[in-house]
Structures are given as C-alpha cells and as structure tokens.
Amino acid sequence: MKKIISLLVILLLCGCSASVEEEEIITSLPKKTFPSSNLLSDSDIYPAILDDYLFLENVMYVDTRDYLQFINEGSVAGFVNIPFYDIIVSLNEEDNGLYIMTKVEDGDKTYMLGEVGSFIPKYEESEEIVNALFPKDYDIVVLSTAGVESTYLLNLLAQLGYDYSRLYNAGGFSNSSVGYTAYRELEDSKYLVEHMELTGLTVNFNWDNLTPIEF
C-alpha cells in the first residue's frame, strides 16, 4: 500500500512540474539571417509564425494592400494599412504616388523594377513624407497580398537609407506563395480580424499641396 501511495505522489509531483512550465516570452524580432535581403524567401518572419512576433514595442506593422482588400478580406490585428500603390508608389507619371517605380539606367548600372535604386521621387516632399510615415528608429514588419509589394516597399526604404537589418518581410495575407501559406488561410491564426462587406470606397488625397519634380 505504501508503495502505491508513494508512486501516486511521484506521479502527481511530475504532473505538477510539467504544468507549471513557462512559455517563452518573445520581446523582440528575430535577428535577420540575411540582413541585406528583403525577399520573403530570405525572411525570418512569415505568416505561419507571425503571431509570435506581434504587439512588440518599437515595431511598426504595415499592411500594403489597398483599402478595399484590407476591409473586404480581413486583416491582422495591430497592422496599419498604408497602400503601396497609388499612395507610396505609382508605375507612371500620371497616377498618384510619392515615387515612380520603374527600370532605371544609371551609367553602367541597371536597376530592375522594384529593386533598390528603381524608385524615383515625384515630389520634393516625397522622402520627408515617407520618413514621417515609417519611423527609422523602429523595426518595420510589412505584409502584402502575397509578399511581393512587401519586398518593394522595404527596398524603397532601404534606398532611402533605412537599416536593412530592421526591415522584415512578413509575406502574404491574401495569397499563398511557394512554401508559404497566406495568413488568412492558416487554421490556427490567433489575430485574424474578420472581413467586412464593402462594395465601394473613395479616399481622396490633396496632392496639389506637394511640389512636383520635373522629369
């Protein structure tokens, strides 16, 4: 009988010790394995583990999808919506955007679309506005439709002198890419903000107050 009681006590103690194991508390983003790359394929943060790195101090979380996508598809809690196209970048002089993203020939160097060096300011205030939107003393985590615009935005920031090691491509919210499941398709995501139904949205910006740069 004493042996049985002793065995039960040991089992109870083992069970108690297992139940009080503390989870690791994450207080910062992981150090980048490839500090000078903004590609999703080189990123240490991706949708499947994004939840582990949310709500950290001195980190800005940016979603670059357009406004309708952000509302109709849902979002991730803690992310601010700053559309990449028509706000930060355009693909031609006629459309709205602080920068034109294009192929750039500079002497012997060629910068392909979206690479560091391929962004041309459209206004004298363009860099000042980008610096105001994205604080340089913060780590910046960027989410987009499938991780492509995330790379583009981070490359723009790198072109403007931001520290590569503080720029993180978190991949895609809407569409999966090779090797990475989109955030909204994950079964165990904890911070998915449900979508709303919106058929139309008009957002107006006063670009007239900016000083155009002549090309």
* Cα dist from 181 to 40, 110, 172, 188, 215, whole Å: 12, 33, 8, 12, 41
pLDDT tens column, 75-106: 999 999 999 998 999 998 889 999 999 999 98
Q: Enumerate residues 6+ apart whose C-beta is below 8 A from 123.
A: 98, 129, 210, 211, 212, 213
Are 89 and 122 in contact by the 8 Å Cβ rule? The answer is: no
Percent of the chain with pLDDT strictly greater than 70: 87
pLDDT tens column, 15-42: 544 455 566 789 999 999 999 999 999 9
Q: How far apart are CA 84 and CA 62, in angstroms?
A: 10
Are 129 and 157 in contact by the 8 Å Cβ rule? The answer is: no
Q: Half-sphere exposure of residue 204, counting CA atoms within 13 Å on the CB side?
A: 2
* Res 24: pLDDT: 79
* Res 13: pLDDT: 47
pTM for this model (two decimals): 0.87
Q: What is the CA radius of gyration of the chain?
A: 22
Phi, psi (rounded to 5 degrees) for 132: -75, -35
pLDDT tens column, 134-187: 999 999 999 999 999 999 999 999 999 999 999 999 999 999 988 899 999 999
